[in-house]
Every structure is written in C-alpha cells, then in structure tokens.
Amino acid sequence: VPYGMILVSGPTGAGKTTTLYASINQLDHIGQNIVTIEDPVEYRFKNINQIQVNARAGITFASGLRSILRLDPDVILVGEIRDAETASIAIQSALTGHLVLSSIHANDAVGVIFRLLDLGVEPYLVSSALIGVVAQRMVRKICPYCARPVDVPLSEHMAYSNETGEERDEFLYGSGCNTCAHTGYLGRTGIFEILCMSDEIRTMVLSSTTTNQLRTQAINRGEDFRVLSQSC
C-alpha cells in the first residue's frame, strides 16, 4: 500500500462516507492494519479498530489521530478534516509512511488543494503528502421505463459542448410513469471527479498557482481527468 493522503470531497449527502468505507473494506481484504477516527462511527467493521469522537471525554479528531499513531497503523481513516490542527497531523501522518484517507468540504477536486492551503498547510507539505483527490456528487437517474428523446435548442447543445468538451447527439428526459411515480427519475448514481497528483500539478502547487490555472492543467494534461459536469 502506498503512503500519502487521499481526500474525498463533496456536500453533505454526496456519499463521501460510503466511498471511504468501500476503500478501507477493500484494503482490509489485503491484511492491512487499519484504524479510524470518526464522528460518528456509521458502520462497524469486524477487523478494523474504529474510534468515536467524544468531545466530553476530550477525544477530538486531532487528539484521536495522535493516539492512533501509537498503534502503528498501515492505513488511517479520519472522518473529516475540519480544522488546521487535524489537517497538520493528518499531513504529517501521510509523510511518515501511512496511507491517510479523509473527507473535506470543497466544491471540486482542485478546490481541495486550496482548502488545505486556506487551513494553513504549507504548499510544500500539500505537494509532498497529497496523492489523490476525489470530488463526488449524487445525481438522479432518468427513469429507463419512460425515457424519451427531447429536442434541445442549438444554444443548449453549444452550452453543453463548451462545458464538457464533448458532443452529444441525443438528450433524454423522463416523461413520467407508474414505475417512477410520474417523477421522470428512478434511483440515484454517483458522479466523480478524480485528480491524481502528477509532477506538473505538484510543481504548480509550489508556485502559488490559481484555481483556474490548476484546473486547466488537470484538464489539458491528456489523462483521464473529467470534471463533474462531464460525468452527468
């Protein structure tokens, strides 16, 4: 297992905890020593040591993370990075041979980098510790039982193309049926924006880049980076 930090971002209800739990469940299958600090612990794993944040007992994300390091874990899950102290300890943990997984509030993958900088983490630490970012949302799915093609004005075709960089021949909408309770939608699915920290991205973080410059570099570097709107 590599060391470093992987962060998951998104609004409340976007499925961040589900993504983190799926990740540690997969890592548990290969025999890693995994310890978590959470608020709250939403699901109990049989072979994973999970610690509940308890402010009255003095157990915060920061203090719990310090205690976890004494257990010599391979993988650490921090439920959420909320403050500068937790961010600092998590970064140091990632730089000392641990794989650290956590969530943080930011609008997109590139925004996560600037959120860490806003919390006071030095650019060289962000560049060294962060290995990947996942931004995600939950979106409604058009009901497959009543999906119909819809005529879209040329202006909307152009807007879609400008936003996503892709052409689309057909747009669908749900006309409504008994299966979807006449809403036109049935179920939800996740969309993801995944940013891997390349050498170019790391160098830009060190050079006081802007959000737009970093996003443009991620899009243009010829890899599989797709912004959230391209996944809709």
Radius of gyration in angstroms for the set of CA atoms belonging to the chain, rounded to a whole number: 20
Please state the pTM of the whole predicted model: 0.90
Query: Which H/E stretch holds residue 111?
Result: helix 109-118
List pLDDT tens digits, range 99-136: 999 999 999 999 999 999 999 999 999 999 999 999 99
Phi, psi of 184, deg, nearest 5: 85, -5
Q: Which two tokens stand for residue 104?
A: 């943080």
Chain centre distance of CA 57 = 30
> What is the pLDDT, as a whole number, of residue 118?
96
User: Is the alpha carbon torsion for 84, 7, 124, 224 positive or negative?
Assistant: negative
Going from the N-terminus, what domains does the chain have, and what CATH number goes with each?
4-138+189-230 (3.40.50.300), 144-183 (no CATH)
DSSP 217: H
pLDDT in tens, 151-163: 988 888 788 887 7
For residues 103 and 81, the answer to whether their CB atoms sit within 8 Å is yes
| Amino acid sitting at position 15 | G
Residue 28, pLDDT score: 87
3-class DSSP state of 153: coil
Q: What is the predicted pLDDT for the residue at 31?
A: 82
How high is the pLDDT of residue 222?
Answer: 59
Residues of the chain with pLDDT under 50: none
Q: For residues 53 and 59, is the Cβ–Cβ distance under 8 A?
A: yes
Give the pLDDT confidence score for residue 227 in this predicted structure. Answer: 85
Determine how many CB atoms are found less than 10 A away from the CB of residue 177: 15
Q: What are phi and psi of 190, to 5 degrees?
A: -95, 145
| pLDDT value at residue 223 | 60
